[in-house]
Amino acid sequence: VYILGIESSCDDTAAAVLRADADSHAVLSSVVIGQTELHKAFGGVVPEIAARAHAEKLDLAVEQALEEANIQITDLTAVAATAGPGLVGGVVSGLMCAKGLAAALNIPLIGVNHLAGHALSPQIEGQSPFPYLMLLVSGGHCQFLIAKSDDKFIRIGGTIDDAPGEAFDKAARILGLPQPGGPAIEEAAKQGDPKCFDLPRPLLNRDGCDMSFSGLKTALLRARDAVLNDQNEIARQDQCDLAASFQAAVTDILKVKSQWAFQRYLEFEPKHPCFAVAGGVAANQTIRGDLKQVAQDAGAQFVAPPMKYCTDNAAMIAYAGLTKFKRSDFDGFDLSARPRWPLDSESPSMLGSGK
Ligand code: ATP
Ligand code: FE
């Protein structure tokens, strides 16, 4: 079978082709058309601009994905598109494109939860048999999930305010670095001293795997203001030291809370010691390295998708679509965009409240 994946929930227009048979699969193409330039002047993603850009670029992304996969449009077996959560205008654009293709080709339409795409992304290349503990850490989310199967996730904790990706983006703005903030901070941090500024690590000494990142941002703002010169400029070394100190604080929070979450996970799944990370922030080498260490210290397997499948892409949507395809879990043309769509709301909980 050939599954076309479509992703348009934020500021990347993406399409991918996945080929699969009964027991194997391969990504044949994964095209991502970014919108960074369009939003540059506004210091953040502007939903209306994003929606229009998706509508303009989706056809091109799909054409390129088919061409790179070296297949005809009529070879497609099903089309899977992100149905939420995300910016509703972009999701609607992607769904309209998917519905048009499904109707014209008379093939199944599959609506995919973007977060399921991230949570299953370690499986695109490589093996991570269920169950595993997943830290999903992205631009809009940060949560620990017990992944029981393709469609069963149990949330055991997460951020109580900002997501780390969002915090990286805001931190970059505070430090005068470009967007997206994650890669910019990571790059600047290489020249900085992570111990130079003492930034807070909220909730670290408290039990539980809930996390908080909003205070960190405020502290960074204060630390920056203290080093500005008379012209309100920041010296390059201060910029790098602040970036490194910020990254170190986020890393510490994720690391310590992962240790806690993993111990809790092991109480439920002692026979399956596996820790997986996914989402844009999992592309950060320092964070990735420390999280790998958490798994190794616990004698557990560590799984993470390759960098290209950490940030938004359509290969993960095609893969999540494939898992629904195998269950014949198709959608009708009344499928609508869901701006909010928690991953664990569809499945019965095994932890009582599940929260
Ligand atoms: P969500 O998936 O929660 O809806 P999103 O789709 O916008 O949000 P992703 O595409 O998964 O999020 O990730 C983008 C985020 O990851 C951005 O906030 C970006 O700054 C961050 N990010 C990307 N690369 C890195 C990096 N190397 N280090 C830290 N953060 C990074
Ligand atoms: Fe995402």
pLDDT of residue 20: 98
Of 337, 335, 333, 336, the closest CA to residue 103 belongs to 333
311 lines ligand 1 (CB under 6 A): yes
Instruction: Give, using CA atoms, the residue closest to atom 29 of ligand 1.
Output: 182
Q: Cβ(147)–Cβ(322) under 8 Å?
A: no
Q: What is the pLDDT of residues 129-178, one digit of tens each?
A: 899 999 999 999 999 999 999 999 999 999 999 999 999 999 999 999 99
Nearest CA to 62 out of 92, 85, 30, 91 is that of 30
Q: How far is Cα 277 from Cα 172, in angstroms, rounded to an integer?
A: 23
Where the chain has pLDDT below 50, the residues are 346-355
Distance between CA 65 and CA 228 in Å, rounded? 47
pLDDT, one tens digit per residue, over 106-122 is: 999 999 999 999 999 99
43 assigned to a ligand binding site? no
Cβ < 5 A residues, ion ligand 2: 138, 312
| 114 in a labelled binding site | yes
| Per-residue confidence (pLDDT) for residue 344, from 0 to 100 | 85
Q: Enter the pTM of the model.
A: 0.95
3-state secondary structure of 176: coil
Give the model's pLDDT for residue 345.
53
What are residue 249's phi and psi, to 5 degrees?
-65, -45
User: Strand locations in 121-184, DSSP E?
Assistant: 132-137, 142-149, 152-158
Query: Does the beta carbon of 183 lie inside 6 Å of ligand 1?
Result: yes
Q: Which residues 6+ apart lie within 8 Å of 267 measured at CB?
A: none
d(CA 272, CA 55) in angstroms, rounded, equals 43
Q: Which amino acid is at 282?
A: A
| Ligand-binding site membership of 332 (annotated) | no
Q: How are strands ordered across the β-sheet holding 25-34?
A: 25-34, 12-20, 2-7, 78-84, 109-113
Report whether residue 165 contacts ligand 1, using a CB cutoff of 6 Å: yes
- Nearest ligand by distance to the CA of 254: 1
